[in-house]
Amino acid sequence: MLGAGVVLKGLKEMGVDRLFIVSGTDYPGFIEEKVRMKEGAPDFVVVPHEITAASAAMGYSMAGKLGVVAVHTTPGTANALGIIANAFYARQPLLVVAGRSPYTEEGHPASRSLRSQWAQEFTDQGGLVRQVVKWDFEVRRAEQIAGALARAVHLSESEPRGPVYLVFPREVTVEEGKWRKVNMSPYEPGPREEDLRKAAKMIEESENPVIVTWRAGRRKEWFDSMKYFADTVGVPVVNYVGETVNYAGDMGLDQFDLSSADLVIAVETEVPWPPKKVKVGGKVIKVDVDPGYSRISFYDFPCDLCVMSNPKDFFDRVTPLVSRKEEWRAKVMEMRREQERKKEERAKALAKEKKVKPDLLSWYVGRMGLTVFNEYPFNFHFGNFSWGQYFGDITFGHLGWTMGASFGYSLATGKATVATVGDGSFIFGVPEAFYYAVRTYETDCKVVIYDNGGWLASEEALDDVFQESVAKERGEFPGAEMRRYNSGEGVKAYGGYYKLVESPWELEEAFSELKGSRLGVLQVVTEKRDPEDEIY
């Protein structure tokens, strides 16, 4: 068996059933061994761009299976870098396999033969990704492959989870090798008894505590434990939908004044509030697998009690130690009822507008009942999500990941998905590669484009930086505006559904048609969000 065969056999034995691949001249050993091994190797899922392929692998991990992506040496790594960073900050396991230019010029069957193989050799290939992976390693001998693979999966799936990067020179992939099983189980931190007692005392003594989270729902057992605590004790949850669905129930609030809380329980969130806009005077408990966020250079959020623990262990053990806060629960439920009432009123009012407001479009998306992958414009408040039905707003913010991730998730689960994107992030997502993947592997993926004519985040930054803005006063945003084209129409070349919508009355029929397609793009011309319309 060749070294490449050892890689494929090892992945298969470790439960990896699919390998998302953008191959190149570094993959002849993998191609040869896949043909030889047939069903003994993971299925190859060809996705013709690294942004889409890496995103698909990340979406596969979001579905609970380890996503593995194979890229071509340094150019492929560079293309995938932003998605690798997304996975790192979203704490999603991801195994990135990269080829390496041959290190011999002659004397070996795998020696260099193309001009590019000299230029593509970097002094430190792993240095391209080192700041956004948990571990990187270049395999130098076929006998190292089994151990390197085992450690890669071990580290990627241990908390805090994240991407790892393995490099395989072409010579190694065609050497004779042998698979050997190496057992390395993943690990995660748990709370200290003294921290649990302190936390319970702080919660017991508080009158109006609140949970602030961002990704506590990235694991179902975490979601269940935090929900049980919030419902049992009566503690509201802010960002009940954040990077994923963190909570579903009566204690979820769209808006809450954190300055009024006497205790903030920050769970799996590196930015519990923006200090520039929100002042918190109450005590703070942080519950996180890495509460110090050591990979962030400057970080000075307060932490009266930092608990290095997974949320399940913390809440399962603290909940029996604290009493119910019935008076606070009643107030929270009243706040929630009022917020729900305002949303219903707003949706009805928006339907009467002459132009499509982003929130109205979000209301329609929320009614589809599909798993949503959001890249900025979709307003999750207008959805009704259970666990695992929403993924979005990744902290690192590299655009272009949602379409690929929605494909990977659909491939892993068999569920229908919808990616919500802006007109700019849609282009970043490499639509042609997405269409190819969805059509080739027969998944069920739709796209809704919020076409607001430019980079809205860049325009909104003016409000953040300038109290008075000449650009905003004149309505001129050079560098942030884009011409409008029927950019989603390319899906027709792959047999997909496409429609351009410009008015609210067209939405009902368009969404019915979109939902009936297995590959479709709905491009909706929307107004730019007006801050005065916000209710949150």
The sign one gets for the Cα dihedral 203, 209, 215, 219 is positive
Determine the pLDDT at residue 478. Answer: 78
Q: Are 91 and 162 in contact (CB under 8 A)?
A: yes
Distance in angstroms (rounded) separating the CA atoms of residues 358 and 533: 11
SS3 498: strand
Task: Summarize pLDDT for 219-270 with one digit per residue, the tens.
Answer: 999 999 999 999 999 999 999 999 999 999 999 999 999 999 999 999 999 9
Task: Summarize pLDDT for 192-223 with one digit per residue, the tens.
Answer: 999 999 999 999 999 999 999 999 999 999 99
Q: Are 488 and 511 in contact (CB under 8 A)?
A: no
Q: Are 130 and 76 in contact (CB under 8 A)?
A: no
Residue 91 bridge partners (DSSP):
none
Closest among 241, 270, 233, 275 to 258, alpha carbons compared:
275
Q: Are 239 and 212 in contact (CB under 8 A)?
A: yes
Determine the pLDDT at residue 531. Answer: 43
Query: Residue 69 is inside which H or E element, if any?
Result: strand 67-71
Q: Do domains 193-330 and 353-525 have the same CATH topology?
A: yes
Determine the pLDDT at residue 469. Answer: 78
Tokens of 474: 């004149």
Determine the pLDDT at residue 38. Answer: 85
Determine the pLDDT at residue 532. Answer: 41
Widest CA span of the chain, in angstroms? Answer: 79
Determine the pLDDT at residue 455. Answer: 60
The sign one gets for the Cα dihedral 145, 151, 152, 154 is positive
Mean pLDDT of 124-148: 96
User: Tokens 């329980």 label which residue?
Assistant: 265
Distance in angstroms (rounded) separating the CA atoms of residues 146 and 6: 7
Check residues 436 and 106 and name the one with the higher pLDDT: 436
Arch. (CATH architecture) of 353-525: 3-Layer(aba) Sandwich (3.40)
Q: Where in the chain are the domains?
A: 3-174, 193-330, 353-525
Mean pLDDT of 95-115: 84
Mean pLDDT of 100-115: 80
Tokens of 389: 């039905």
Query: Residue 497 is inside which H or E element, if any?
Result: strand 497-501
| Chain centre distance of CA 91 | 9
Determine the pLDDT at residue 377. Answer: 85
User: Tokens 């492959």 label which residue?
Assistant: 145
Give the lowest-confidence range in 312-316, 413-417, 472-476: 472-476
Determine the pLDDT at residue 280. Answer: 93
Q: What are the CA-CA distances from residue 207 to residues 9, 263, 355 (Å)?
A: 56, 8, 45
Alpha helices, H only, 296-357: 311-318, 326-350
Mean pLDDT of 296-306: 93
Q: Are 400 and 429 in contact (CB under 8 A)?
A: yes
Distance in angstroms (rounded) separating the CA atoms of residues 151 and 470: 55
CATH of the domain spanning 3-174, picked from 3.30.70.80, 3.30.70.1280, 3.40.50.720, 3.40.50.970? 3.40.50.970
SS3 520: strand
| Chain centre distance of CA 332 | 30
Distance in angstroms (rounded) separating the CA atoms of residues 238 and 250: 12
DSSP 388-418: TSEEE--TT--SS-HHHHHHHHHHHH---EE
Please report which confidence band the pLDDT of residue 536 belongs to, taking 50, 70 and 90 as the band edges: very low
**CATH topology assigned to domain 193-330:** Rossmann fold (3.40.50)
Distance in angstroms (rounded) separating the CA atoms of residues 230 and 252: 9
Distance in angstroms (rounded) separating the CA atoms of residues 245 and 28: 42
SS3 522: strand
- What's the start-to-end Cα distance of the chain, in Å? 60
Q: Are 445 and 413 in contact (CB under 8 A)?
A: no
Q: φ, ψ for residue 343 (rounded to 5)? A: -65, -40
Strand blocks (E) in 47-172: 67-71, 94-100, 135-138, 163-169
Q: In what order do the strands lie in the sheet with 237-238?
A: 252-253, 237-238, 209-213, 263-267, 283-288, 305-308
Q: Are 203 and 209 in contact (CB under 8 A)?
A: yes
Query: How many percent of the chain have pLDDT more than 90?
Result: 81
Task: Summarize pLDDT for 144-182 with one digit per residue, the tens.
Answer: 999 999 999 999 999 999 999 999 998 999 899 999 999
Determine the pLDDT at residue 480. Answer: 66
Q: Are 413 and 56 in contact (CB under 8 A)?
A: no
Tokens of 19: 């390998």
SS3 1: coil
Distance in angstroms (rounded) separating the CA atoms of residues 227 and 240: 10
DSSP 39: G
Please report which confidence band the pLDDT of residue 315 belongs to, taking 50, 70 and 90 as the band edges: very high
Q: Which amino acid is at 497?
A: Y
Model confidence at 466: pLDDT above 50: yes
- Using CA atoms of 55, 310, 274, 238 in order, give the dihedral in degrees to the nearest 10: 90
Q: Are 520 and 498 in contact (CB under 8 A)?
A: yes
DSSP 385-396: --TTSEEE--TT
Closest among 294, 66, 309 to 189, alpha carbons compared:
309
Distance in angstroms (rounded) separating the CA atoms of residues 190 and 176: 42
| Chain centre distance of CA 338 | 31
Q: Are 518 and 444 in contact (CB under 8 A)?
A: yes
SS3 471: helix
Task: Summarize pLDDT for 476-506 with one digit per residue, the tens.
Answer: 677 667 788 999 999 999 999 999 999 999 9
